[in-house]
Structure 1
Amino acid sequence: MSKRTSAKYKIDRRMGENIWGRPKSPVNRREYGPGQHGQRRKGKMSDFGLQLRAKQKLKGYYGDLTEKQFRRIFAEAERRRGDTGELLVGLLEQRLDAVVYRAKFVPTVFAARQFVNHGHVLVNGKRVNIPSYRVVPGDEISVGEKGKQMALVLEATQSGERDVPEYLEVDHNKLTARFVRIPTLSEIPYAAMMEPNLVVEYYAQN
């Protein structure tokens, strides 16, 4: 199991926000950061600090991607015509693990990565075990037979903790989802405010 899976709440505390909206997040009880210096009074953050924080928050949200992975996705967004920030979040939402999480087949984005890695997900009837696989509009994502028997799938589909966004069509009885369209920032149900424009500024200067 990935170290990042067991440390997901550390990301919340580091950011000082409940970025996934989970009811068990420690930020719900204490808003200061982790470690012995976590309760120090915070001064005003610099522009660089705000940009770095925005990048770390967005990167952390999608399962704490590595800097190399995130930079590669940003570079592709930058190459395309249009608003780079909007394109960036659209590309992140096209990741297979993100779609599995949004469809409520599993409870967390970390579980989604592991679920895909273990071969429980099919795209258009073919097994795909690469979490970063890019889904395109019209693709059908389904849960394999073994995956349908797993307790975490049952837990996630019956949870009222979050809703399925409109850019997905999901049948929880059949455990299938169709990726309807690439979403805009306003359509993505982030529990905390994401600022991809600051991420663009960060990479423009670094």
Structure 2
Amino acid sequence: MSKRHSAKYKLDRAMGENLWGRPKSPVNKRSYGPGQHGQRRKSKVSDFGLQLRAKQKLKGYYGNITEKQFSKIYEEADRRKGNTSENLIALLESRLDAIVYRCKFVPTVWAARQFVNHGHVLVNGKKVNIASYRVKVGDVIEVRERSRNMALVLEALQSPERDVPDYIELDAKAMKATYLRLPELSEVPYPVKMEPNLIVEYYSS
């Protein structure tokens, strides 16, 4: 198992949840945490512990974004008008790697980051190789023509594992998608419950 895969599954085990809804997740067989103390009876978690866990879960879901990156995203969400929780989710979902994953061009969020970094994605006809690139409403995201026959892409698009959310309009045949609007938390297809309100409490305390 590669380092990247083991890190991903370790996060699933640590959280005790199948974060990405993958059938291969070890949580499907063992819901307890990793390590020799994983099966110990869980003690009551403090409010801070719940807030920290909510942050780690959301941060990890998007390919384990660095603390520095995540803090910057939160600060922008807090500056924007409206609900900070909803703003945070909208900003995370506007990342190019997140949209590539939502479009089912790749099987995992980890693969999405690599796919973008390797120059397989165009935004409005121009190559963008920065995974954290902020996609704007109305932008068109597509797989480069020379990358469209990659087995990774063809298998991901045909997978019944995930559905493309309503805030993205996908033309699967052309491997092209349009980012229609910023999503609300209730629209984002998280396989597990995300609690951005606890993250707001974490940064506010």
Fold shared per TM-score above 0.5: yes
1:21-170 superposed matches below 5 A: 21-170=21-170
1:32-60: CA deviations, max 9, x gaps? 11111111110111101100000000000
Question: Given that residues 13 and 34 in structure 1 are in contact (C-alpha distance below 8 angstroms), is that contact kept between their aligned partners in structure 2?
Answer: yes
List structure 1 runs of 4+ shifted beyond 6 angstroms. none
Separation in 2 of the partners of 1:112 and 1:61?
12
- 5+ residue gaps, structure 1, are none
Q: Deviations over 1:160-181 (max 9, x none)?
A: 0010000000011110000000
Q: Which amino acid aligns with 1:138?
A: G
Matched to 1:73, the amino acid is: I
- Between the aligned residues of both structures, percent identity stands at 72
**Shift of residue 20, structure 1, vs aligned partner:** 0.6
Alpha-carbon distance in structure 2 between the residues aligned to 1:131 and 1:176: 17
TM-score normalized by the length of structure 2: 0.97
1:7 is paired with a residue of what secondary structure?
helix
Q: Deviations over 1:79-99 (max 9, x none)?
A: 111110100000000000000
Secondary structure of 2:14 counterpart:
helix
Cα distance change, pair 84–134 in 1 and its aligned pair in 2 (3 A)? same
Pairwise CA distance, 1:146 = 2.8
Deviation track 1:92-117 (CA, whole Å, cap 9, x = no partner) reads 00000000000000000000000000
Q: TM-score scaled by structure 1?
A: 0.97
Aligned partner letter, 1:168: I
- State how far apart, in whole Å, the 2-side matches of 1:4 and 1:48 are: 28
CA deviation vs aligned residue, 1:14-43 (integer Å, no higher than 9, x gap): 100001100110000000111111111101
Q: In the aligned structure 1, how far is the partner of 2:66 from the partner of 2:58?
A: 12
1:179-194 aligned within 5 A: 179-194=179-194
Q: Is the 8 A contact 1:4 1:63 kept in 2?
A: no
Gaps of 5+ in 2: none
Determine if contact 1:106/1:156 at 8 Å carries over to the other structure: yes
Distance (Å, rounded) in 1 between the aligned partners of 2:76 and 2:44: 33
Which amino acid is the alignment partner of residue 92 of structure 2? L
Residue 8 of structure 2 aligns with an amino acid whose one-letter code is K
CA root-mean-square deviation: 1.1
Mapped contact 1:77–1:88 kept (Cα < 8 A): yes
Question: In structure 2, what residue type is equivalent to 1:200?
Answer: V
Structure 2 partner of 1:14: 14
